[in-house]
Amino acid sequence: MPRRARQESCSGFFHVVVRGVGKQIIFEERSDYRYFLSILRQVVDEETISVCAYCLMDNHVHLLLFDECHHLPVFMKKIGIRYAFYYNHKYERTGHLFQDRYKSEPVETEAYLLTVLRYILKNPEKAGICPADMYEWSSYRFYGCRDSLVDTSYFSALLGDMKNYRDFISGEDTYEGCDLLKPRKTEKEAREVINRLGLKTGTAIQAYTKKDRNEMIMNLLREGLSIRQIERLTGVSRGIIQRTREKR
C-alpha cells in the first residue's frame, strides 16, 4: 500500500512524534538524552527550522516545530540517522532504531498550538514520572529564555509572563482541534455514536441540508470522533469537516 502524503501546514507549525521500533527504549542513560539534544541543536543550526517545545521520554520524542521553508523531512532524517548511528554503536546493535516514519500533524490555529504545547510538556506527568515543571528532559523550564535551543517567543506573545505560562500548563487538557492527541474512539464506539445521534449509517448525512449536515458534524466532533473517523464513516470531505470545526 502506498504511503499517504504528509499534510502541509499553512501556519508552518507541526507536532512531530518519533518512537522507538517496537516501542523499545531509545534513551538508556542521561548521556543519551544529552546527545539527542546536541544533535537537535546541530540540525536546527543547519536547517531553517525552530524548536518551539520538546519532551524526550524513554521510548519516544515529542517535538513542536516551526518550519516555514518545508525542510521538515530533511530535518527529521538527519536527526534519525545521526542518533541511530550513535545509539547502535554505543549499545552494539544493528538495524532500525525508530518505528516506521515519524508522525507529523500540522498545527493551524492558536487554540491547537497551545493544546499541543500543554500536551507535550505534561507527558511526564501523565506517565506518572513527575510534575511537568520538574522533568529534566523537556523544554518546560526554557520559557522566555534567550540563547536556548527552544524559541518560545510565539507563546510568550500569547501567554505573557511565567505565572500565566505555569497556570496554563497546569490547566485542564481540552485537546482543542487536536486529532493526534485526543483519546481515540474505536471503530465500534464511533458507529455507536453515529447511531445514537439518529443516523442509521454515517453516509446518511450526505442527504442532509448543509446546515443540518454541519450541525451533525459538530455533534460528532463533540462526541470525540476524530476528523479522520468522520471523513471515513460519512464520506464528507476532510476540508468540509475542518471548516465546520473552525466555525465553532
By the 8 A CB rule, do 176 and 112 touch?
Answer: yes
- Same domain for 52 and 99, yes or no, is yes
Residue-wise pLDDT for 35-80, tens only, equals 999 999 999 989 889 999 999 999 999 999 999 888 999 999 999 9
User: What confidence tier does 7 reach under pLDDT thresholds 50, 70, 90?
Assistant: low
Q: Which domain holds residue 123?
A: 13-169
Q: Which range, of 129-133, 173-177, 191-195, averages the lowest pLDDT?
A: 173-177
By the 8 A CB rule, do 97 and 21 touch?
Answer: yes
With residue 105 as reference, give the H or E element that holds it: strand 103-107
- Same domain for 165 and 198, yes or no, is no
- Same domain for 237 and 136, yes or no, is no
- Same domain for 160 and 196, yes or no, is no
pTM of the prediction?
A: 0.69
What is d(CA 193, CA 197) in angstroms, rounded to the nearest whole number?
6
Query: How far is the CA of 101 from the CAs of 19, 23, 70, 98, 152, in angstroms?
Result: 9, 13, 17, 8, 27
- Same domain for 132 and 102, yes or no, is yes
Q: How many CA atoms lie within 13 A of 221 on its CB side?
A: 24
pLDDT at 6 over 70: no
- Same domain for 151 and 210, yes or no, is no
Q: Give the largest CA-CA distance in the chain.
A: 62
Structure confidence at residue 42 (pLDDT): 95
Residue-wise pLDDT for 210-240, tens only, equals 999 999 998 888 888 878 788 888 989 888 8
Domain count, the chain: 2
- Same domain for 120 and 161, yes or no, is yes
SS3 186: coil
- Same domain for 193 and 100, yes or no, is no
Is residue 129 in a domain? yes
Is residue 164 in a domain? yes
By the 8 A CB rule, do 121 and 53 touch?
Answer: yes
Mean pLDDT score of the chain: 87
Is residue 180 in a domain? no
Structure confidence at residue 116 (pLDDT): 94
What is d(CA 136, CA 154) in angstroms, rounded to the nearest whole number?
22
CATH code of the domain covering residue 142: 3.30.70.1290
